[in-house]
Every structure is written in C-alpha cells, then in structure tokens.
C-alpha cells in the first residue's frame, strides 16, 4: 500500500475526497448535478484532487478535462444511468454490516457454485440471488462465484464487457445491493467469490484512454491494445487496479476474487502485477484480520503463478484448471476437435487426477510444441475443477449444457468425477438439476455499429461448423431469456432425482476425510483403457476410498484390491437417482460410479 490518492470519490467527516488520474490534462474540474463547477488541484504523478463539502452522497457528477466534454468518473462506484451517464457519489462506509463473526473458510473447504446474476433468478438481481441462498445451503454449497458485475452497457451481458471496474451494475442492484447480498451470504455461512476482469475493458462506454495512458501499444490482445501494466505511466494504472482489489475485500467484504484470463495480462515488469496485488492483499489481511483468496483463470500451466511469493512465485492462491474439464469431457464422449483435440480421454483424465496439469512439460500436438511445467508440489486446494462452466457452455454455438449433450447416467458420472477429485469442485448454476435451458452469449449494446459487429463476429466464429443451425443473436432479448434457469424443474421427474444425487455427492465428499482433505500425495489411479474404466484410490489415516468409474456403454466386472473389506457408500446406478439399479455383485453398470470405503489403506 502507499500514500497515493485512492481513485474516485470517498467521504470522510462529511466531506468528499475526490481524486482522478489525468496526467496529460492542463485543467480538470468536477461538475456537480450539472450545475456547480469546481476546479481540482494538480498533485504528483498526474493526479488531480479536491476535498469539498459541495459534493454529497447521492449527487451526480462528471469530470471535465481541459474544458472539453464532461465524462463519467473512471473510478465511479455507481452509474445509475448506464455507462454514458453521470456518476453518482456513494458513501460506501455507510452500509451497516452485521458479519463481524464471519470467518472465511480455507479454500480446501470451498464447494463453489458459479452463477450469473441476471439469469440465475427470475428477478435477475442480487436480491433474487439472496432469495435462493437457503436452497444453495441445502445443496451443500459453501461459496458462490458471481460472474462479473462491473457496470456494462444496458442490462444484459455476461459481464466481460464491463467498463467501470469500481461500479456495480445498476440493473442488478448496485453497490448497496451487492453489499446486502454479501452480508446475507455470510449470515448463511456462504463465502462470496467475485469474478473481476483486469485484462481488458469492454468496447462501449470505455473512456479510459481519454483520461490517460491506461493502454499500451506494446502488446496486442483479442480486445485491442493491452492494459498498460509495464509501459510509461504504468505505476498509476497498477495503482488503479490494486485499489480496486482492496476495495472489494475491504469495503464489500468479498471473500475471494476470481481474476479473469490472467494469461492475457501483459506484464514484463521486475515485479508482476499479480505479485504486487498479492503483497497488498497480504498487508490488508494483516491490518483487518480477515482472510481473502485470489483465484485466477489461467491456461499456461505454469506453477510460477500459484507458487508462494517466498518461493519466488506470484502468490495466487488457486487457479481454474480447464485441462481436467477437457479430459473429462473427451472421456465422456465429447468429440476431439477444437480445444479438445489435444486430449486422449481416460488416460489424460487419470493424469489430471495425478498431476493437475495434463500438459506439464510434454509435447502438445495441438500447439506443436512442448507445453507446461510440473505442478506436483502445489496442493490440491490450489486447483478448481468442473464438468461445465459459463465459458465451456456459453462459447458453444448454441450454448448447450451437459443435459443436452450427454445421457442422464453420464451426467451423474461426470458430476461424481469432479466431486471425488483431490481438487476444489465447482458447479455451474442449474447443472445440479440437469437444467435444459442453454446458457448463450448475450449483450445489450446501444451503439448500432457495435451491435452489428458483435453479430457478425459471432456468426464468423462458427462459420466452419457447417450446420443448418444459426448462432443465436447476442443482442436479442430472447437469447437472454432462453438462458435463464427454470426454477420449476427441480420438482419434476428426472430433475428431482438429479438434484438429490448432487446433494448426496456433496454430502459424501464432506463426510469422508479421504475425500474432504485435498491431499494429492495420497492418491493412486488405475486405468483399464480397453474398458474405459478408471479406479481412483484416495486415503487418509486408516480410511480408504475407492471410486470405480465406468465411462463405457458396457457392464464390467469390478476390480478392487483383494486385501480389503469394502462398503458401498454411493452407487450412481441406484434407482433412487433414476438409475437402472445396481448390477450383480462384482459388476458395475455402464456410465456409472461406485464409491467404496475400506478400513485398510
């Protein structure tokens, strides 16, 4: 941390402390309620500051640079009229928190539920999420992960087009709505992970470049010029994002952040921005006594990012691991094309259980090079695994979920494969009842040229699929409405049994120490490739758990070690979960899992 101004507007002793970074401006003024105009004072490093009683909570304001057009605050906490409207001043310290007794669990205790605020509930708001927390608690969830809520254009968006990283989307309930949700989650014993985007800004309402060199032409990204983390003036850009991280933890009591696609962050500084973020979070935790986690989405298979700072790593606490997902999906029958082309099915699934990274310094045919590094020294709590998530559902042309791509029995097997892993499990909203609605890509831009560009881009992305189907129109409200969960389904036949199965799975994972304790060293896999059978053995002290998984369409005889007495804890073929019933003793049904316990390790 440092003594530089915190970007935006903060209130202290009934006075507004205003700070904006505009290093090239010769004059900066704040316009309050489209009337009062007050000049700001220039200080070091290109900041302009002002302390005044003229700006009060609830007032609207804009900044005017060099007497040109008035712009919203790049560190605005509220955009009640959208990305092009005036910012609204908020006294973030006025919220009445009641979570002083809350203790954020360690990552190893997380069972994560990823959700999108706009499509999770009928209301599509933070309040709508709060109304379903009892359901999530009963399911066994210990943490929710909310897709990005930074202010974006309109009211429909995945969240990755945000342009105000400090402002909470107005149509979801704004800053106060998010704070209330976090407070209620903590009362229910549920941690909150917030997805944030520090690798790009969205295309509409992005005024950052007018204020200063937030971007650099040194690197090109899929979204244009990269955010400036290592070029001239980068210190203040880094400060902007570090303060954003601290705000979520300190002011909104967020328990963990999931940083989107950090491999797209370009930074060759002596100290990587992620490491600097970690150092600042460590300092905050020392001051407050609260625990916070930093999770990254990351596809470079380099443990440098998750190694502790003491080992010269960047210190990130955990990462999403797509390779487990890819290996699992191919094993379940997904076609080996696109990003699945590098995965060979059950052998790679076993490698994912053992090594976390499938490509850990071996040759990748898809990349035409040796890829990745060994991560054997990183504990299981540093890896988050899943059978589906927003990306791998929504980036399909039609947004099909597993329920549309796999049979009922295979869905249960895939869920169990995630839950018995030595890693942190994550569910994608609705998968636990086999939601049949898709989750499709949607936006609500207001600029016609941009809307058309997005439509064309989406069509071009899937042009090689040679199908009679067309990519859904991302701008159409129907695309958004189709992506909403159907909360009547959990009571219906099939969906009800799937939900019951997920509840049982999570309960078994929590109750058996051999599964609950994420010790990667106490694990062994045995693969019978001819039969597409995988035996996962995990143990803790005197308890052994054997997870026998049959990914084939054929019934097989069971192969367990001979020196043990086994009890069946869960069999996915049981009729209570709408299965075909158990096979004869010594056999396993097609597309099923049997979880055994034994007292002999």
Q: pLDDT band at 323, cuts 50/70/90?
A: very high
395 known member of a binding site: yes
% of the chain beyond a pLDDT of 70: 99
Q: pLDDT band at 66, cuts 50/70/90?
A: very high
The answer for residues whose C-beta is within 8 angstroms of residue 107's C-beta and 6 or more apart is 256, 293, 317, 318, 381, 382, 424
Return the sign of the alpha-carbon dihedral for residues 138, 169, 78, 276. positive
Per the DSSP assignment, residues forming a β-bridge with 296 are: 259, 319
131: pLDDT strictly greater than 90: yes
The count of C-alpha atoms lying within 13 angstroms of the C-alpha of 577, restricted to the half-sphere facing its C-beta, is 25
260 known member of a binding site: yes
Do residues 164 and 83 touch, judged by C-beta distance below 8 A?
yes
What pLDDT does 114 receive? 98
What pLDDT does 578 receive? 97
Q: What is the pLDDT of residues 239-269, one digit of tens each?
A: 999 999 999 999 999 999 999 999 999 999 9
What pLDDT does 222 receive? 86
Mean pLDDT of 290-318: 97
What pLDDT does 309 receive? 98
394 known member of a binding site: yes
Q: What is the pLDDT of residues 407-446, one digit of tens each?
A: 999 999 999 999 999 999 999 999 999 999 999 999 999 9
Distance CA 103, CA 101 (A): 6
Terminal C-alpha separation, the chain: 49
186 known member of a binding site: no
323 known member of a binding site: yes
Q: What is the pLDDT of residues 559-588, one digit of tens each?
A: 898 878 899 999 999 999 999 999 999 999
463: pLDDT strictly greater than 90: no
The helix/strand/coil state of 49 is strand
Q: Using CB atoms within 10 A of its CB, is residue 380 exposed (0-12), middle (13-18) or buried (19+)?
A: buried
Q: What is the DSSP letter of 148?
A: P
Mean pLDDT of 73-91: 98
What would the DSSP string read from start to end of 513-564? Answer: HHHHS--TTSEEEEEEGGGTEEEEEEEETTEEEEEEEE-SSS-EE----SS-
User: 297, 302, 409, 432: which is the annotated catalytic residue?
Assistant: 297
390 known member of a binding site: yes
Do residues 296 and 259 touch, judged by C-beta distance below 8 A?
yes
Q: What is the pLDDT of residues 520-556, one digit of tens each?
A: 999 999 999 888 999 999 999 999 999 999 999 999 9
Q: What is the pLDDT of residues 89-100, one digit of tens each?
A: 999 999 999 999
Are β-strands 191-196 and 256-259 bridged in parallel, bridged antiparallel, or unpaired? Answer: parallel
Are β-strands 112-115 and 143-146 bridged in parallel, bridged antiparallel, or unpaired? Answer: parallel
Active-site residue, 230 included: no
Question: What's the predicted TM-score (pTM) here?
Answer: 0.98
Mean pLDDT of 123-148: 98
325 known member of a binding site: yes
495 known member of a binding site: no
What pLDDT does 600 receive? 61
459: pLDDT strictly greater than 90: no
Q: Which residue has the higher pLDDT, 465 or 471?
A: 471
Q: Does domain 8-92 have CATH number 2.60.40.10?
A: yes
Alpha helices by DSSP H, 253-272: none
User: 260, 342, 355, 409: which is the annotated catalytic residue?
Assistant: 260
2: pLDDT strictly greater than 80: no
Q: What is the DSSP letter of 53?
A: S
> Which helix (H) or strand (E) element contains residue 16?
strand 15-21
84 known member of a binding site: no
44: pLDDT strictly greater than 70: yes
4: pLDDT strictly greater than 80: yes
Active-site residue, 297 included: yes
Distance CA 235, CA 212 (A): 12
Q: pLDDT band at 464, cuts 50/70/90?
A: low
494 known member of a binding site: no
307 known member of a binding site: no
Count of CB atoms situated within 10 Å of the CB of 212: 21
Q: Which residue has the higher pLDDT, 361 or 466?
A: 361
Alpha helices by DSSP H, 311-447: 322-332, 346-355, 390-394, 402-405, 408-419
Q: What is the pLDDT of residues 181-199, one digit of tens each?
A: 999 999 999 999 999 999 9
Domains of the chain, residue spans? 8-92, 519-598
The per-residue b/e assignment along 348-375, b for 16 or more CB within 10 angstroms, e otherwise, is: bbbbbbebbbbbbeeeeeeeeeebbeeb
CA dihedral (159, 164, 169, 175) in degrees, to 10, reads 130
Alpha helices by DSSP H, 23-171: 117-120, 126-130, 133-139
Average pLDDT, the chain: 96
The helix/strand/coil state of 391 is helix
Q: Does domain 519-598 have CATH number 2.60.40.1180?
A: yes
13 known member of a binding site: no
The residue written with tokens 């003229």 in the block is 54
220 known member of a binding site: no
Do residues 196 and 165 touch, judged by C-beta distance below 8 A?
yes
322 known member of a binding site: yes
């Amino acid at each position: 941390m440092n003594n530089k101004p915190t970007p935006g507007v903060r209130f202290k002793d009934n006075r507004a402390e205003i700070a904006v970074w505009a290093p090239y401006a010769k004059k900066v003024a704040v316009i309050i309620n489209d009337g009062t105009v007050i000049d700001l004072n220039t200080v070091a490093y290109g900041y302009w500051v002002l302390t005044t009683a003229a700006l009060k909570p609830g007032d609207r304001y804009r900044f005017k640079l060099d007497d040109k057009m008035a712009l919203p605050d790049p560190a605005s906490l509220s955009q009640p009229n959208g990305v092009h409207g005036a910012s609204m001043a908020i006294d973030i310290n006025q919220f009445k928190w009641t979570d002083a007794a809350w203790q954020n669990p360690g990552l190893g205790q997380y069972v994560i539920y990823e959700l999108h605020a706009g499509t999770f509930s009928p209301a599509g708001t933070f309040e709508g999420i709060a109304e379903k927390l009892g359901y999530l608690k009963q399911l066994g969830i210990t943490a929710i992960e909310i897709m990005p809520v930074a202010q974006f254009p309109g009211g429909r968006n995945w969240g990755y087009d945000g342009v105000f990283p400090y402002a909470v989307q107005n149509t979801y309930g704004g800053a106060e709505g998010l704070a209330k949700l976090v407070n209620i989650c903590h009362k229910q014993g549920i941690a909150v992970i917030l997805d944030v985007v520090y690798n790009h800004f969205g295309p509409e309402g992005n005024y950052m470049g007018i204020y200063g060199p937030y971007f650099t032409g040194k690197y090109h990204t899929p979204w244009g010029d990269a955010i400036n983390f290592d070029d001239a003036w980068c210190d203040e850009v880094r400060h902007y994002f570090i303060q954003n991280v601290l705000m979520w933890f300190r002011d909104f009591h967020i328990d963990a952040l999931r940083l989107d696609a950090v491999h797209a962050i370009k930074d060759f500084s002596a100290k990587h921005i992620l490491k600097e973020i970690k150092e600042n979070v460590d300092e905050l935790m020392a001051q407050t006594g609260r625990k916070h986690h930093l999770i990254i989405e990351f596809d470079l298979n380099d443990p440098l990012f998750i190694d502790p700072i003491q080992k010269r790593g960047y210190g990130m606490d955990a990462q999403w691991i797509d390779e487990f997902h890819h290996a699992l999906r191919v094993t379940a029958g997904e076609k080996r094309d696109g990003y699945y082309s590098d995965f060979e099915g059950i052998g790679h699934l076993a490698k994912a259980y053992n090594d976390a990274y499938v490509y850990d310094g071996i040759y990748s045919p898809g990349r035409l090079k040796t890829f990745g590094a060994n991560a054997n020294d990183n504990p299981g709590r540093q890896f988050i695994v899943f059978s589906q998530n927003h990306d791998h559902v929504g980036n399909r042309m039609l947004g099909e979920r597993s329920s549309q791509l796999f049979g009922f029995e295979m869905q249960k097997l895939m869920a169990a494969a995630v839950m018995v892993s030595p890693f942190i499990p994550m569910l994608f909203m609705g998968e636990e009842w086999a939601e049949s609605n898709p989750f499709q890509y949607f936006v609500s831009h207001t600029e016609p040229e941009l809307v058309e560009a997005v439509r064309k881009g989406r069509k071009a992305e899937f042009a090689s699929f040679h199908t009679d189907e067309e990519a859904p129109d991302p701008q159409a409200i129907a695309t958004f409405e189709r992506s909403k969960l159907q909360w009547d389904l959990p009571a219906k036949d099939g969906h009800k049994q799937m939900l019951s199965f997920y509840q049982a799975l999570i309960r078994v994972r929590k109750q058996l120490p051999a599964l609950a304790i994420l010790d990667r060293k106490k694990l062994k896999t045995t693969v019978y490739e001819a039969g597409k059978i995988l035996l996962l053995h995990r143990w803790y002290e005197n308890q052994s758990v054997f997870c026998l998984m049959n990914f084939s369409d054929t019934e097989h005889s069971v192969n367990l070690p001979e020196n043990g007495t086994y009890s069946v804890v869960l069999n996915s073929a049981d009729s209570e979960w709408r299965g075909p019933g158990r096979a004869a003793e010594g056999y396993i049904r097609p597309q099923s899992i049997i979880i055994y316990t034994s007292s002999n390790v």
